[in-house]
A and B are shown apart, each in its own frame.
Chain A
Amino acid sequence: MRLTILSSVFLTLSSAFLLYALNNDTRALEEALQAQERVAAELKSDIAVLKAERAHLARPDRMEPAARLLGMAPPRPTQLTGKIETGSTKEHAGQ
């Protein structure tokens, strides 16, 4: 009987300790998760801003004058002579 009581006390204390430790571990994990989520949210927000900035910088009305300055223009029909091969280029390379 005495052994049973002692065992029970020991088990109870052990369980309490384990539960306590588990509880703390869970809280620590939750905090870590929240921190990661906050970081992820901040990064997503940063990505959205960067995407918008990139699109703003690459908008056509900004790019076109720059392209013209570099001498770029749509192809003219006179620039294309003969038959245009759009398929394999290997045959041409071998000729």
Chain B
Amino acid sequence: MGRSVTISSGLIPVAGKATPVPGPGGAVPRYPLRSAAMMAAVLAAFSVVGVQLVRLAGQGAGVPVAAISAPIATGTSRPDLVDRSGRLLAGDVELPSLFVDPLLVVDRDELVEKLRGVLPDLDEPGLRSALAEKGRRFHWVKRGLSPALAQRVHNLGLPGLAFRQELRRAYPGGHLAGHVLGGVNVDNRAVAGIERYLDEAQLVDPVVSVEPSSRVPVQLSLDMRVQHALEQELIEAKRTYRAQGAGGVVLDVETGEVIASSSLPFVDPSRLDQTMAGGVIDRIAGGTYELGSIFKLMTVAMALDSGRVTANTVLDLSQPLSAGRFEFKDHHGGARAMSVRDVFLKSSNVGAGTLALNEGTKRQKAFLASLGLADQIRTEAGPVAGPVVPGNWDRAETITVSFGHGIAVAPLQFAAAAAALVNGGEYVAPTLLKRPAGAVVERRRVISEKTSAALREMMRANVAERGGTGERAATPGFAVGGKTGTAEIAVRGRYDRNAVIASFLAAFPIEKPRYVTLVMLFRPARTAASGGEITASRTAAPATRRLVGRIAPLLGLKPDATANGS
């Protein structure tokens, strides 16, 4: 009975544990194959895990990446704006914006005092109010700081202040073409100008990061060099003739592209909120004016195109024109008889009125409408200020409109109409975007080529012939033609002889014009430089001469030694 029992597994349960039991003869029995396989599998599995751990440890030795999900304000990325040669006019850049977490601020007074030292235009009442508000955790202190300024704020070491990167619009040219470019608000959304076109054409993208737009830059029709030259010449003319304001536009007569457009005072697109608050308007597209005698271009074109008269037709001007209680005379006495050409060259109001009356009010209205002067026009920057036309357009109005009074239009609208008169007779809508090479431009015939040629001849004579009102616009090296306009401004219901808008519309090279320019001086003073006069022939005309002499080479026109003006 003392014989022990051997269990086939070689294990006996002792207090819940399996203990190997020597087999017969005292030798440890060999493990069965199943156990060995299991152990091998477990060993293999652990080896795999071990190898994988080593591999991952080796991979993880790189730069640690912090995945912090910080709350980032939704912004807007805008494509670059470039001029017709690809020079940058506006672009998005990443700039730090400063905010405060009031809960983390230790000393409110210290924070405000120290910030005021670095940020002079700090909104102190707003900041103090935000800091005092219970439960508030966020308040913008200043958005779009320069990196240098941000560093100075950072160096203050004030707890509670922090920065957040945002996309901000940069205008590297400063005020250059400020009125045309418009501007954006603190959220990078357009508020005016061509920037608004980007929003309307859905070229802006909402972003949650601060990555600049990857869209193709939007190419404007402006030429930065010509724009600069125009602005410089307007500044010079405003200073020389002590004018209250000035404006000018350069237009391509074939494509309708606005090559340059400027209005004094300038606006800085990067500070548009402040400048717009001051009521600074774009006189070229945003205001309407009675332009005076340059409107005779339209009247003479209308008369010539109807075929009732030619440039040499002599008009009987022996009697002053009358309409009701009004009587119209020429300032400089006038003549008893005058050819249509002389009406233009001597800028006779009576002659222009006679031509308009010959054509009739209905024809005058229709002709001006065909030139786009009766209705509001649009550019990509938005609607141009609508024309102000007589409510009751009768005989008196027909006469006054013929010499540019009683009707007020935006200078850009007028320049586009004048371009149609000199380019062979086809109206092309003005545009602020560069037209692609070979693009088909929509044209509308308004006068015949013959009429256009006759007008160009008169415009050239007005500049080139001695005694012409545009004589002082004669530009050495370039054949310029043009027309002056001195429009008295209505002050308290009466036209003031000492307050005028002096304008000069020029086309060059006049044989086959490529460009028209319109230079306007608002309320010039009687200065020594203008010989004590305020007329366009002594102010806007010489300003145009300087402008054309400067921009024509930039526009690729070769000087002609024979075109020395008068």
Q: Is the CB of B65 within 8 A of A41?
A: no
Contacts of A55 in B (CB 8 A): 87-89, 91, 172-173
Q: Is the CB of B91 within 8 A of A59?
A: no
A79 to B476, CA, bound (A): 12
CB distance from A24 to the nearest CB of B (A): 7
Chain A residue with the shortest CB-CB distance to B173: A59
Q: Is the CB of A48 within 8 A of B224?
A: no
Question: How many residues of B are in contact with the other chain, CB < 8 A?
Answer: 44
- The answer to whether A13 and B561 touch (CB under 8 A), given A45-B93, A45-B210, A51-B88, is no
Q: Is the CB of A56 within 8 A of B52?
A: no
Q: Is the CB of A61 within 8 A of B228?
A: yes
Q: Is B549 an interface residue (CB 8 A)?
A: yes
Q: Is A90 an interface residue (CB 8 A)?
A: no
Q: Is the CB of B56 within 8 A of A52?
A: no
A41 to B77, CA, bound (A): 13
Contacts of A44 in B (CB 8 A): 211-212, 214
Per-residue contact bits, chain A 35-65, to B (CB 8 Å; 1 contact, 0 not): 1000001001100110111111011110010
Q: Is the CB of B549 within 8 A of A49?
A: no
- The answer to whether A80 and B45 touch (CB under 8 A), given A55-B87, A55-B88, is no
Chain A residue with the shortest CB-CB distance to B89: A55
Q: Is the CB of A52 within 8 A of B93?
A: yes
Q: Is the CB of B558 within 8 A of A80?
A: yes
A18 to B210, CA, bound (A): 38
Contacts of B63 in A (CB 8 A): 35
Main secondary structure of the interface of A (DSSP, over half): helix
Chain B residue with the shortest CB-CB distance to A61: B228
Q: Is the CB of B93 within 8 A of A77?
A: no
CB distance from B273 to the nearest CB of A (A): 20
- The answer to whether A80 and B225 touch (CB under 8 A), given A45-B210, A52-B88, is no
Contacts of B561 in A (CB 8 A): 77-78, 80-81
A35 to B88, CA, bound (A): 30
Q: Is A74 an interface residue (CB 8 A)?
A: yes
Contacts of B87 in A (CB 8 A): 55, 58
Q: Is the CB of B91 within 8 A of A48?
A: yes
Contacts of A35 in B (CB 8 A): 63, 65
Q: Is B59 an interface residue (CB 8 A)?
A: yes
Q: Is the CB of A77 within 8 A of B559?
A: yes
- The answer to whether A74 and B93 touch (CB under 8 A), given A59-B172, A64-B228, is no
Q: Is B305 an interface residue (CB 8 A)?
A: no
Per-residue contact bits, chain A 4-41, to B (CB 8 Å; 1 contact, 0 not): 00000100010001001100100010010011000001
CB distance from A82 to the nearest CB of B (A): 10
Q: Is the CB of A77 within 8 A of B550?
A: no
Q: Is A76 an interface residue (CB 8 A)?
A: yes
Q: Is the CB of A80 within 8 A of B559?
A: yes
Chain B residue with the shortest CB-CB distance to A45: B94
Q: Is A93 an interface residue (CB 8 A)?
A: no
Contacts of B52 in A (CB 8 A): 17, 20-21
Q: Is the CB of A74 within 8 A of B549?
A: yes
CB distance from B250 to the nearest CB of A (A): 15
Per-residue contact bits, chain B 294-307, to A (CB 8 Å; 1 contact, 0 not): 00000000000000
Chain A residue with the shortest CB-CB distance to B477: A77
Q: Is B499 an interface residue (CB 8 A)?
A: no
Most buried by A among B210, B212, B229: B212
Q: Is the CB of B93 within 8 A of A49?
A: yes
Contacts of A78 in B (CB 8 A): 561
The contact of A52 among B59, B172, B228, B550, by CB within 8 Å, is B172
Contacts of B560 in A (CB 8 A): 77
A35 to B67, CA, bound (A): 11
Per-residue contact bits, chain B 257-269, to A (CB 8 Å; 1 contact, 0 not): 0000000000000
Q: Is A84 an interface residue (CB 8 A)?
A: yes
A41 to B232, CA, bound (A): 39
Per-residue contact bits, chain B 152-174, to A (CB 8 Å; 1 contact, 0 not): 00000000000000000010111
A79 to B558, CA, bound (A): 11
CB distance from A52 to the nearest CB of B (A): 5
Q: Is A75 an interface residue (CB 8 A)?
A: yes
Q: Is B48 an interface residue (CB 8 A)?
A: yes
Q: Is the CB of A60 within 8 A of B93?
A: no
Q: Is B92 an interface residue (CB 8 A)?
A: yes
A59 to B41, CA, bound (A): 75
Chain A residue with the shortest CB-CB distance to B560: A77
Contacts of B214 in A (CB 8 A): 44
A26 to B63, CA, bound (A): 17
A28 to B59, CA, bound (A): 9
A41 to B92, CA, bound (A): 13
Q: Is the CB of A52 within 8 A of B91?
A: yes
Q: Report the 6 A-B pairs with minimum CB-CB distance, sorted nearest first.
A: A77-B477, A60-B228, A55-B172, A77-B559, A56-B172, A55-B88
Report A's interface with B, CB cutoff 8 A.
9, 13, 17, 20-21, 24, 28, 31, 34-35, 41, 44-45, 48-49, 51-56, 58-61, 64, 74-81, 84
List 29 interface pairs A-B (beta carbons < 8 Å), by A numbering: A17-B48, A21-B52, A24-B59, A31-B65, A45-B212, A48-B93, A48-B212, A49-B94, A51-B91, A52-B172, A53-B172, A55-B91, A55-B173, A58-B87, A59-B172, A60-B229, A61-B228, A64-B232, A74-B549, A74-B550, A74-B554, A75-B553, A76-B559, A77-B559, A77-B561, A77-B563, A77-B564, A80-B558, A81-B561
Extra contacts besides A45-B210, A48-B92, A80-B559 (8): CB < 8 Å? A9-B41, A44-B212, A48-B91, A55-B91, A60-B224, A60-B228, A74-B554, A75-B553
Report B's interface with A, CB cutoff 8 A.
41, 45, 48, 52, 56, 59, 63, 65, 80, 87-89, 91-94, 170, 172-174, 176, 209-212, 214, 224-225, 227-229, 232, 476-477, 549-550, 553-554, 558-561, 563-564
